[in-house]
Structures are given as C-alpha cells and as structure tokens.
A and B are shown apart, each in its own frame.
Chain A
Amino acid sequence: MSKFPQKRFYRQRAHSNPIADHCFTYPSHPNEFDWKALYPNIGEDKVEFADIGCGYGGFLVTLGELFPDKYALGMEIRVKVSDYVIDRIKALRQVHPDKYQNIACLRTNAMKYLPNFFEKNQLSKMFFMYPDPHFKRSKHKWRIINQALLTEYSYVLRQGGLIYTITDVKDLHEWIVKHMEEHPLYERLGDKELESDIIVEKLYETSEEGIKVTRNKGDKYVAVFKRL
C-alpha cells in the first residue's frame, strides 16, 4: 500500500468564506510560533516563501525542490485540502529523508492572520495561484487581491520581494493587474524579466489546478509584481 495520501479522500468544494470565524489556531504574535514543529531543521532561519491558498501543494513541493536552502510555507484554508498537503509532505519526507525538510503546510486564513505568523519584511516571495475567482459582485471583497489586502501583504513582503499570480479566469487576471497597478507599492514585471525567472515556467505546470487547466486546453494568465 502506498504511503502517499490519495487525493480522492481529501476532495472539498473550492470555495470558503474568508470573513467567517473558523476554528483556527494561530499565534497572537510571530514570536510565539513554534516553527520547529513544521521544519525540524529550521534552526534560526526563517520562512521566506509563502504560497497563499496552496491547494493540494503541487507547486509547494516544486518550490522545495527548486530552492533547497529556502523555507516555504503553504497556507490553505480548507480542512481536508490542507490535511492532504500535510500528509503528502510527511510521506515525501519518509521516502526521501534528506529532502523536503524545507516545506510545510498550515491550515489558516492568510487574508487575516499573516502578521500573526510573519514579521515585517520577512517574506521575499508570495504566490497566489488559481485563487478563488468569487465571480459574484457581492463577493469581490473576498478576493485575495484588493487594495486593503495588498497593504497587508506589503507589510510582510520586503522591498524588492515578488508576488506571483496565475489564474485561468481572464476577468480575475484583469482585476488582479488593475488592483496591483493601482497600489503605490507594486510594479508589474515585464516579459523580459519573467523570462529570466525560473519560477515562472513552473507556475504553468506544477500545481494541480494548472495541470487540470492544461488538460482542458484552457488559457493561463501570469502576472508578477515587485514590492517597491
């Protein structure tokens, strides 16, 4: 029997209310969080990459492989989905004891609790991959990118840090670009800069959502922004 978790036991609807109270445990201050429980070897190092809404963790695993000396945290609000990622990383570590020590997943509401986990300027990269489009107009304020949230992200993201976004929903892509460009602290990177970034090509292929969209021959829209 495979050690790896089977996804069919962890399926969950794609939407979650980010404003509602959920049962979360989160530190009241970043100093109070025990990072060694997630990364036994972290020592005095700190998490630098955050995959916000990491889904089933495909991209998170790739990040861990691409940057073996950086710590990456996947944050996912859905109970079963985050548990899948946790079990998947546990299985990966068992099979490859010297690898995957630098990735972990937490069930939390990243829209609300980023400052509870991360200090000011702690992160160098944030990823928003296939975020919930919340198509209804009344739910637009639940979208993971808006003016108020961009200000919150710029608190944990250091100057020069990057925000990567990808979606298969054109309307959401336009929304993201519009809000990022309106915010005084972000600047969109041009195609040339994207070409030289090894992460960008991985964005297209390594998350489960990405593979599904490719299978369906859908379009994918990538936009990357620098924190000024």
Chain B
Amino acid sequence: MALLTTVSDTILLAAKREVKFFNSDGTNVQHLLLPAFDPKNTKQSNDIEDDDERSEEPAKRLISQKEESVIQNIAVSPNGHLLVITTTGDKLVYTYKILATEKQELVSKRTLPRISSAIAFSSDSKYFYIADKTGDCYEFSCENVDLAGKWILGHLSMVLDVLATQDLRFIITCDRDEKIRVTNYPATHLIETYCLGHTEYVSAISFLPTNANQVLVSVSGDKMLKIWSYIDGVLLFDYALPSAGLKMILRKINETTSHVAVTLYKETNLIICEIEQASDQTFTVKLISEHNFKDCKEITSLVFENDGNILLASVNTNNSVDVQRLIFTSDKYVECDSVELNKNLGDMVLDLQYNFENISMLFKKRYDNIKDYHERKKRRIEDQKQNSYNIL
C-alpha cells in the first residue's frame, strides 16, 4: 500500500515501513523509518484457531504474511502535531510528534488486536479512533499516549471507514454489510440511527465541506454516491457512478460548492464531480472529469493539496509506487507530467509479493443454497404423492 496525506504544505507518502516528507515539487525529501520489525511480535494468540468452518472472513484471507509488517494506515491530527501509523504484521499503532518536516519524535507504540482499516481524529486532536477488519472500533488518547486503546463499538462485518463529527457528538462508521451507522459519543452504547440504502459495501464516508455539521457523503460498491442527513439517516440525494466506488476525498470550493474525487474499481480509475448545495438541502451533482492512468494497477491513496490540486499514489504494473498530480485550473483537473516529481522522490518499489487489497473480496459472495433445497423438496413431495397413489 502507498498512502498519502499532508501537513500544511508538506506531503507525506508512506509505503512499506517508510514515510517520506517532501515539498510539493518532490524536493527536500525527508525520511521517517519505523523501528525494525521483530517477527516474534506477530501475535498468534489473537488469530482464530480455525478448524472445521471454511474461513469466510475476508480479513483473515487478506492477512497471509506473518513474516513481514508494513504500514497499513496513516493519519495526521487536525492541528498537525501528531502522525499516527498502523502496521499489518505486528499490528502496532505508532504515534509520532511532528516537530518539523525533518524532525519527528516517536512518543508511543501501542497494540491493536486486529489489522486496522481506517483512522480518524477528533476535531480537537485529543483522540483518534481506529476501526479494524473484524468490525471493532477503538478510541486512543493523544494526551495519555501510553493508555491502551479502548473498545467503543463493534459491527458484525468489516468496518471500512470511521469519522467523528465536528461537535464530537457522534462516531460514524461504515461496513461491508451496506451499512452506515451513527453512534452517540462518548455514550457509544446508544446507536442514534443508520443511514440505510446502499446495496453493497460502503467503502468511504466524508462530511460535505459546505455543510459538515449535517451532511454526509458515502460511496459504495453499488456504484452510487449518496448524500445523507446523518442525524436522522435520511437520504437527500444519490448519484450514479460509472463503476463501484472505493476511496473519496472532498474539498470546499465556495459556500455552496464542493468537489469530490472518487477512485473506482475497474474500468475508470477516477471520477471528479461538483456537488452544489441549494439553500433548501437540495443537491445537484455534476461530472467534471474522468481519468484513466496508464500502467496503473491500483490507486491506493489520494489527497487534495492546499492549492486545490489532487495528488494520487498508485501502484503500477512494475510494483513501484507512482505519484501523479492533477492540476486544478478554473473548474478543470488536468493530468500533468509527473516524471520530475517521481524522480525527485526516488524509487519506491514494493516487494514482488506485495498484496493488493483484494477489492473483489468486499463484494458479497451470493451463492444460492436455497434453490437446490427447494428443488429437492419439490421432488420429495411429488414422490410422496406418487407413493400415496400407489398405495390407493
């Protein structure tokens, strides 16, 4: 996985066990390396000693490599002071203080029971929340950095994204079972509502920047982008995507307009749209552009830069990480030559056995065990009838 995020004008690119900090033109590259990985730390105890049942849980199949541990998720606190990094094999949560672009201090190393799927910070930068692939969500303190993660909620399905509302009244999570759940916070034993309507996995949720206190945007494997009033779970608008949605970023353009970029599964790589909000909670969504990138196997991360440009990290057919920029010019996003940028960054080649997030796993496997049963039953009933006639 190659992941992108920003701290003011500095861009962070994470892959394997390294985070690169650099300027937007790819210069002044600084490296942060995670402490050496000790395979002995991969906790077997938490793995399910599975036996007779076929392992149906996607999470379990994704995690095959016990012998290595790479960066799984990264997040920077809203105040820009903290960087949180989670890893796969040893399932650790590293918290770094960002003192300067070239100076970070490791302040804590905590453990996770399972591989993470998403990280979200509270708006006040005092907590962060980590969702995992078995459906649980944990709260971590930024102030008391040695405090272990506290379990706050659980889904019966892989949680794919997590958010905390600006006012910190709710935690919002979405899962592989088509659900978006709005849970009270800190009283997480009280579910406020569900936003229901998607018919496949919900992979990403974000607040609409023009109305972040009320309106939520979601993308799903059902090829829909949906806009919700999250307080009461009411669907406000939906928009058909050309293909199943994966990741999403949003940016406020003016008081009523936002831009949304969504990465897609197969066919098209990326779609960018404009969301216009009228005063009465009605919306229009308009296509701006669609993009396909040559030799791109998978876009693994994307981010809006301060100037409105979009930066993408992808894994190409040679298993190396590419960074690509789309330049924002008066309502258009133009693909630009990123050779110089990638050259400045230096090669980031992933191992050959690099495991792609197996996206097809997110779709439900719909095998029909009902039809066979009903056919057998029909035959049985007919046989019975036949037999009773014979007796007569």
Which residues of A come within 8 Å of B, CB atoms? 1, 9, 17-23, 28-30, 79-80, 83, 107, 111-113, 115-116, 120, 136, 138, 146-152, 154-155, 183-185
Q: Across the interface, do A21 and B365 meet the contact criterion of CB distance under 8 Å?
A: yes
Q: Across the interface, do A120 and B198 meet the contact criterion of CB distance under 8 Å?
A: no
Q: Across the interface, do A151 and B191 meet the contact criterion of CB distance under 8 Å?
A: yes
Q: Is B380 an interface residue (CB 8 A)?
A: yes
Q: Is B178 an interface residue (CB 8 A)?
A: yes
Whether A148 touches B369, Cβ cut-off 8 Å, given contacts A21-B364, A138-B50, is: no
Q: Which of B4-12, B72-80, B148-156, B318-326 contacts A (4 or more CB under 8 A)?
A: B148-156
User: Knowing that A148-B154, A149-B154 are A-B contacts, what are 19 other residue pairs whose CB atoms are under 8 Å apart, sorted by A's residue number?
Assistant: A9-B380, A17-B53, A18-B156, A19-B56, A20-B54, A21-B364, A21-B365, A23-B368, A23-B370, A30-B196, A112-B156, A138-B48, A147-B189, A148-B153, A148-B155, A151-B153, A151-B190, A154-B189, A184-B187
A residues near B155, Cβ cutoff 8 Å: 148
Which of chain A's residues has its CB closest to B365's CB? A21
A residues near B237, Cβ cutoff 8 Å: none
- 27 A/B residue pairs, CB under 8 Å, sorted by A: A9-B377, A19-B157, A20-B54, A21-B364, A23-B369, A28-B196, A28-B198, A29-B196, A29-B197, A79-B370, A79-B373, A80-B373, A83-B373, A83-B377, A112-B156, A115-B196, A138-B48, A146-B154, A147-B189, A148-B136, A150-B189, A151-B153, A151-B188, A152-B156, A155-B194, A183-B189, A185-B189
A residues near B136, Cβ cutoff 8 Å: 148
- Measured in the bound complex, the distance between the Cα atoms of B367 and A132 in whole Å is 24
Q: Is B199 an interface residue (CB 8 A)?
A: yes
Which of chain B's residues has its CB closest to A148's CB? B154
Please classify the interface of chain B as helix (H, G, I), strand (E, B), loop, or mixed, using the class held by over half of its residues: loop
Q: Is B49 an interface residue (CB 8 A)?
A: yes
Within 8 Å by CB of B369, from A19, A22, A138, A155, lies A22
B residues near A115, Cβ cutoff 8 Å: 179, 194, 196
- Measured in the bound complex, the distance between the Cα atoms of B125 and A135 in whole Å is 42
Which of chain B's residues has its CB closest to A15's CB? B53
- Measured in the bound complex, the distance between the Cα atoms of B153 and A152 in whole Å is 10
- Find residues 163-181 in chain B having any chain A CB closer than 8 Å to their own CB: 177-179
Total interface residues in chain B, CB < 8 Å: 43
B137 to A: closest C-beta gap in Å: 10
Whether A20 touches B189, Cβ cut-off 8 Å, given contacts A29-B197, A148-B155, is: no
Which of chain B's residues has its CB closest to A22's CB? B369
Q: Is B105 an interface residue (CB 8 A)?
A: no
Q: Across the interface, do B157 and A112 meet the contact criterion of CB distance under 8 Å?
A: yes
Whether A151 touches B189, Cβ cut-off 8 Å, given contacts A18-B156, A19-B57, A23-B367, is: yes
- Of A80, A112, A184, chain B has the most CB atoms within 10 Å of the CB of A112
Q: Across the interface, do B194 and A185 meet the contact criterion of CB distance under 8 Å?
A: no
Within 8 Å by CB of B197, from A21, A28, A80, lies A28
B199 to A: closest C-beta gap in Å: 5
Q: Across the interface, do A17 and B56 meet the contact criterion of CB distance under 8 Å?
A: yes
- Measured in the bound complex, the distance between the Cα atoms of B191 and A150 in whole Å is 11
A-B complex: 3 closest residue pairs judged by Cβ atoms: A148-B154, A20-B56, A155-B191
- Measured in the bound complex, the distance between the Cα atoms of B151 and A79 in whole Å is 34
Within 8 Å by CB of A154, from B135, B190, B373, lies B190
B379 to A: closest C-beta gap in Å: 12
- Measured in the bound complex, the distance between the Cα atoms of B388 and A114 in whole Å is 43
A residues near B193, Cβ cutoff 8 Å: 120
- Of A29, A107, A150, chain B has the most CB atoms within 10 Å of the CB of A29
Q: Across the interface, do A148 and B178 meet the contact criterion of CB distance under 8 Å?
A: no
Q: Is B366 an interface residue (CB 8 A)?
A: yes
Whether A149 touches B156, Cβ cut-off 8 Å, given contacts A80-B373, A138-B50, is: yes
A12 to B: closest C-beta gap in Å: 10
- Find residues 30-78 in chain B having any chain A CB closer than 8 Å to their own CB: 48-51, 53-54, 56-57
